[in-house]
Chains A and B, each alone.
Chain A
Amino acid sequence: MATFDLNDDSVVVIIGTGAGGGVLANELAQKGVKVVALEAGGRYLPEDYINDEWESFGQLAWLDARTTSGDWRVAKDFSGLPAWIVKAVGGTTTHWAGASLRFQDHEWKALSNYGAVEGANLLDWPIDGAEMAPWYEKAETKLGVTRTGDRAGLPGNNNYLVFEKGAKALGYTEVHTGRMAINSADYDGRLACQQTGFCFQGCKWGAKWSAAYTDIPAGEATGNLEVRDRSHVAKILHDESGKVTAVEYFDKDGVKQTQKARIVCVAGNTIESPRLLLNSASEMFPNGLANSSDQVGRNYMRHVTGSVYAVFDKPVKMWRGTTMAGIMQDEAIHKPDRGFVGGYELETLALGLPFMAAFLNPGGWGRSFTTALDSYENMAGMWIVGEDMPQTTNRITLHPEQKDQFGLAIPNVHFDDHPNDIAMRNHAYQQGIAMYEAVGATRAFPTPPYPSTHNLGTNRMSERPEDGVCNKWGQTHDIANLFISDGSQFTTGAAENPTLTIVALAIRQADHIAKEMAAGTI
């Protein structure tokens, strides 16, 4: 394992080691580029993961102080926890469900295909499906995505079988056990899925792809990657020419260090990445780094989400098996006569009893609530993932007073649902409930959104510098050697779970950075 000197200004510094940063770090290391990856969280491997929902949450979740505002229900139910993401080496790839879907062609060009939507700040991506296709293929191969290449689908568990029967009863045809980064057969030195449940708590078999035990150790094995865990980045520094030169961080012992850098790549997830750029404000950049467009922190997206649970007169035992291996894609199309633009996926989802109690109807109590839980064994569940509208006022800002454990301004996450988001969610609730009723559900629960797992858009890609923060390579418009490498670069959110696209963009960005470094242009 490499170690690099703090004064080594030839290294690429990557902030964050999840789907974006972790993959980028390995891909660059494989190409011979020297990388220092700074990760705020600690190292946890499959033997460390805990198959107990709250205990695992305490182990892995990002619990640093955050505040919320806006009319979204999360601000009321979970005011200090806007997002459910991970603080660990490998980032949220530890927790993710594994759903690995490519964007559809029309989704890369939301503004052109949907037209202007009042109150939304829609924009076309500066890239498209044809450009991304080879990178998606590399990402699918890396992750071992089922139903791509020659990889078989996962078998359907009880929760899926209920879901499938309901979907087909309604005439839906695009129904299967998903394209999942969870092995249906042994792959890449990792085991096949053992149908254990607890996909969200870290896969103890390693059957689900996570950067924590794939890309990170692969990168370290090259001798070109040093991962410093428990290293919380405070600020990115720059010189008089405006180029970034170094990163200040607090190390394991809370001691402030400064690592020099040739290039800095920000991949701290969609709340931390803009927070860092804003907290890096200087005399030269008083509104924060790479923020001449004033778009840093804006256009925060979190997908239209929500769940439908339903109870039946006989057992389902939804907790058994893969948590999210089931999908219905017929509604993931753009069909405005439904009353909204964009589309949504329905995906199977199960929670254990402790999380069901916390999330089924947060704040709910009394018999209406408890009789639902009494039927927990007879319950099936699904999750809505749909395209939400970017809005300039949905944004990450720095809290004017509150500071974190390092004295850094904490982020506030403001989100108001757009009318399009509400119309889509209501449609999805109605269709999800109809699916379960078609199989004989005796009661259904349109469950409100959980803290955000898909956090997107706060440093978005744009063709023109005035519309966004970075260009088609994730390179910031303002600073040539500063890159955005996580989901915050998403121009729009599409209907698909974002990780595959984050990984594909990271592989593509690594290729670009290595070429530009070799050419001496950055």
Chain B
Amino acid sequence: MTKHDLRGLTRRQLLSRGMAAGTLAITGAGFIAAPNAAWALEVAVISPEQMATLLQMARDIYPHDKVPDQYYAVAVKGYDAEDRKDMVAAGIAELDSAAKAMGHASYLAAGWEEDRVKVLQSIETGPFFQTVRSGLVTGLYNQKEVWPIFGYQGESFSQGGYIERGFNDIYWL
């Protein structure tokens, strides 16, 4: 359950060079890319706009300002699949329609997290939200690469445990 498919997550510096700062860039060629050129994500089945929406949803559900987009991208990459595209399309349509009811052009068009959260709250008991949210619990937090951002050190057996490496090193008590 910890193995994630990393194929398709590549660093494509050229792709996003010169893009405007701000949110994700949708290239229109089956890619979305980070404005700072740190990463890009290919989509094969769903549209780049849909992937960008999922990514924003992931950030709004579990917002960690210190965690870069690329880890959220890994967490939602699995929705770019033939057997999930209908669910994604229907879910995003529901999301955007909820956003419109609140006066936004779309979910992504709502500039403030607070506004997007209100949209999410209006659909949070539905299956689409619950699928995305519960998938993120393992999809995001079980990436070993994000653990150091939270200070978590993972296994220690290979280093002999903490018996001589600070199991009782608290300094401020």
Taking Cβ atoms with an 8 Å cutoff, the residues of A that contact B are 51-55, 57-58, 155-158, 161-162, 165, 193-198, 204-205, 312, 314-317, 319-321, 352-354, 356-358, 363, 365-367, 369-370, 373-374, 376-377, 439
Partner of B155, one of A195, A198, A314: A198
Q: Does B137 contact A (CB under 8 A)?
A: yes
23 contacts between A and B (CB under 8 A): A51-B154, A51-B157, A157-B167, A161-B168, A165-B173, A194-B163, A195-B167, A196-B156, A198-B156, A315-B151, A317-B153, A320-B153, A352-B154, A353-B150, A353-B152, A363-B133, A365-B61, A365-B62, A365-B124, A365-B133, A373-B64, A376-B152, A377-B151
Contact A354 to B142, CB < 8 A, known contacts A194-B163, A196-B156, A315-B151: yes
- CA A373 – CA B133 in complex, angstroms? 16
A54-B2, A54-B138, A204-B157 known; A161 vs B62 contact (CB < 8 Å) = no
Kindly list the 9 A-B residue pairs having the minimum CB-CB distance in the complex, ordered from nearest.
A377-B151, A194-B161, A196-B161, A51-B155, A321-B167, A357-B141, A195-B167, A353-B152, A195-B163
Cβ–Cβ contact A374 & B64, under 8 A? yes
Nearest CB in chain B to that of A366: its residue: B117
Q: With an 8 A cutoff between CB atoms, is B172 at the interface?
A: yes
Query: Which A residues touch B60, using CB under 8 A?
Result: 366
B103 within 8 A of A: no
Q: Assess whether A374 is in contact with B66, with CB atoms less than 8 Å apart.
A: yes
Chain B residue numbers with a CB within 8 Å of A374 are 64, 66, 150
Interface size on B, residues (CB 8 A): 37
Q: Is the CB of B160 within 8 A of A369?
A: no
Provide the bound-state CA to CA distance between A155 and B151, in Å.
23
- Classify the secondary structure of A's interface with B: loop
B29 lies within 8 A of chain A by Cβ = no
Q: Say which residue of A158, A319, A367 sits within 8 Å of B169 (CB atoms).
A: A158
Closest to A158 in B: B170
Give the distance in Å from the alpha carbon of A352 to the alpha carbon of B138 in the complex: 13
List B contacts of A317 (CB < 8 A).
151, 153, 166, 169-170
- What is the CA–CA distance of A299 and B138 in the complex, to the nearest angstrom? 34
> Which residues of chain A are near B141, meaning CB under 8 Å?
353-354, 356-358, 373
Instruction: Report which of B1, B150, B162, B163 forms a contact with A54, defined as CB distance below 8 A.
Output: B1
In the complex the two chains form, is B170's CB within 8 Å of A194's CB? no
Task: Please name all residues of chain B whose beta carbon is closer than 8 Å to the beta carbon of A57 when the two chains form the complex.
Answer: 1
Instruction: Say if the beta carbon of B63 comes within 8 Å of chain A.
Output: yes
Q: CA separation between A439 and B172, bound complex, in Å?
A: 10
- Cβ-defined contact, B147 with A353, below 8 A: yes
Residues of B within 8 A of A370 (CB): 62-64
Additional 16 contacts, C-beta under 8 A, given A55-B1, A158-B168: A51-B154, A54-B142, A158-B169, A195-B161, A198-B157, A205-B157, A205-B161, A320-B153, A320-B162, A353-B141, A356-B141, A365-B61, A366-B63, A367-B63, A369-B62, A374-B150
CA distance A57 to B153 in the complex (A): 19
| A162 x B157 contact (CB < 8 A) | no
Q: Among the listed A156, A314, A377, which residue makes an inter-chain contact with B152, where contact means beta carbons less than 8 Å apart?
A: A377
Bound-state Cα–Cα, A98 to B67, Å: 36
B113-152 CB contact bits vs A (8 Å, 1 = yes)? 0000100000010000000010001101110000100111
Q: Which residue of the partner chain B has the closest CB to A51?
A: B155
Are A352 and B152 within 8 A (Cβ)?
A: yes
Give the nearest-CB partner of B158 in chain A. Answer: A51
Task: Check if B169 sits within 8 Å of A58, measured CB to CB.
Answer: no
Give B169's nearest chain A residue, CB to CB: A158
Contacts of A157 in B (CB 8 A): 162, 167-168
Least CB distance, B44 to chain A, in whole angstroms: 27
> Which residues from chain A contact B150 at a C-beta distance below 8 Å?
353, 373-374, 376-377
Instruction: Provide the bound-state CA to CA distance between A352 and B146, in Å.
Output: 13
Given A321-B167, A366-B63, A369-B62: A55 in contact with B2 (beta carbons within 8 A): yes
B173 neighbours in A (Cβ, 8 Å): 161-162, 165, 439
| Distance of B128 from chain A, by nearest CB (Å) | 14
Question: A314's closest neighbor in chain B, by CB?
Answer: B172
Collect the chain B residues with CB atoms within 8 Å of residue A356's CB. Answer: 141
Closest CB of chain A to B36's CB: distance in Å?
22
Complex Cα distance, B63 from A386, in Å, reads 35
User: In whole angstroms, how far apart are the Cα atoms of A204 and B156 in the complex?
Assistant: 11
A195 to chain B, nearest CB (A): 4
* A320 contacts B155, C-beta separation under 8 Å: no
The residue on A at minimum CB distance from B146 is: A353
Q: Kindly provide the distance from the CB of A387 to the nearest chain B CB, expressed in whole angstroms.
A: 32
B61 & A366 in contact (Cβ 8 Å cutoff): yes
Expressed in whole angstroms, the Cα–Cα distance for A195 and B157 within the complex equals: 9
Contact A156–B155 (Cβ < 8 Å): no
A320 to B1, CA, bound (A): 24
Alpha-carbon gap, A346 to B155, bound state (A):
26
Q: Give chain B nearest CB distance to A41 CB in angstroms.
A: 18
Closest to B129 in A: A365
Asked if residues A52 and B154 are in contact (CB atoms below 8 Å), the reply is: yes
Residue picked from A156, A204, A320, A377, most chain B C-beta under 10 Å: A320
User: Which of A161, A194, A315, A352 gathers most chain B CB within 10 Å?
Assistant: A194
Output the least CB separation between A176 and chain B (Å): 15
